[in-house]
Amino acid sequence: MLRAPLLAVARSRRMRALIEAVPATRAVVRRFVSGADTADAVRVARELAADGRTITIDHLGEDTTDAGQAAATVQAYEQLLSALAEQGLADGADVSVKLSAVGQFLPDDGEGVALENARKICAAAEAVGATVTLDMEDHTTTDATLGILRKLRGEYPWVGAVLQAYLRRTEQDCRELSGPGSRVRLCKGAYAEPESVAFQDKSEVDKSYVRCLRVLMAGQGYPMVASHDPRMIAIGQRLAADAGRTPSDHEFQMLYGIRPEEQKRIAAAGATMRVYVPCGNEWYGYFMRRLAERPANLAFFLRGLATR
């Protein structure tokens, strides 16, 4: 019931200023975000590696309309990748990139700027043995993001993208992206979307998720099952086994701070378990989407504020 208002708040600049100004908020945010600096992300990557989990790091930021900030985000990814390499943590690591953080919404040729900036991040990743996955934002950006994915894959065939099962179009997108070399991270979807483009009912979203997983697991690409939902994970495991897949040709993914014991259990059972680790100061939108998707997260936030 609170999902829609919280997602509206996630896009409000005024509410952002208010919520960021509450000193106790930051302490609560730390459950979901590794920290402000590259060093925090590297520390978390090392901790996760110790029990067999791997990483995709998101340098937080979105919706920028400032070319300088987009360039700074590229630099932050380059620094992050070289810091991971220095610590021997880059090989097999992944970074997650929001195209709106690297220029997609700039007034002058935003798509071109985002493509160029994403290219730079891909080059930095390739140099250290890491990969890049394009996050998926609201439905108005889906076509453009998939267009940029196609261009990037011409040069860097290992670039992956997120698809969102709540969108009605996604089963077809999965078919188109289930070929050899294609890396698709399938999630349910975290934005407020209209009924015309997205399933509204949770059970419809879950059914779509399963249909999409079937397509991806039966295909020739590399499916990434991004969900905390025990039912989706169990279905992913069964479909992978039915398709004769091994831990080297698909993986499971969860967000940092969510179901960590389950993450460890999946990794210990021999599957590839990748944790999405956000870092940086631009945590507001990401954090609010986490509050919107689960009442227990909102309760955790409110309790955290009350006890500090």
Burial 268-303 (b: 16+ CB within 10 A, else e): eeebbbbbbbbbbebbbbbbbbbbbbeeebbebbee
What is the footprint of ligand FDA within residues 246-275 (CB under 6 A)?
A: 253-255, 258-259
Q: Does 190 bind ligand FDA (CB under 6 A)?
A: yes
Q: Which residue in the set 42, 148, 187, 277 belongs to the binding site for ligand FDA (CB under 6 A)?
A: 187
Q: Does 124 bind ligand FDA (CB under 6 A)?
A: no
User: What is the per-residue binding string for ligand FDA in 29-68, x denoting contact by CB under 6 A?
Assistant: ----------------------------------------
Q: Does 283 bind ligand FDA (CB under 6 A)?
A: no
Q: Which residues contact 175 (CB under 8 A, 6 or more apart)?
A: 215, 219
Any catalytic annotation for residue 37?
no
CA distance linking residue 11 with residue 289, whole number of Å: 10
User: What is the per-residue binding string for ligand FDA in 134-173, x denoting contact by CB under 6 A?
Assistant: -xx-------------------------x-x---------
Catalytically annotated residue among 53, 119, 185, 289: 185
CA distance linking residue 91 with residue 77, whole number of Å: 15
What is the footprint of ligand FDA within residues 195-254 (CB under 6 A)?
A: 226-230, 232, 253-254
Any catalytic annotation for residue 185?
yes
Q: Which residue in the set 35, 189, 223, 285 belongs to the binding site for ligand FDA (CB under 6 A)?
A: 189
| Distance in Å, CB of 105 to ligand FDA, minimum | 16
CA distances from 115 to 51, 63, 103, 108, 109 (A): 35, 15, 8, 13, 10
Catalytically annotated residue among 135, 138, 173, 206: 135
| Distance in Å, CB of 60 to ligand FDA, minimum | 13
The residues that touch ligand FDA, with contacts defined as CB under 6 A, are 135-136, 162, 164, 185, 187-191, 226-230, 232, 253-255, 258-259, 276, 293-294
Catalytic positions, written as ranges? 135, 185
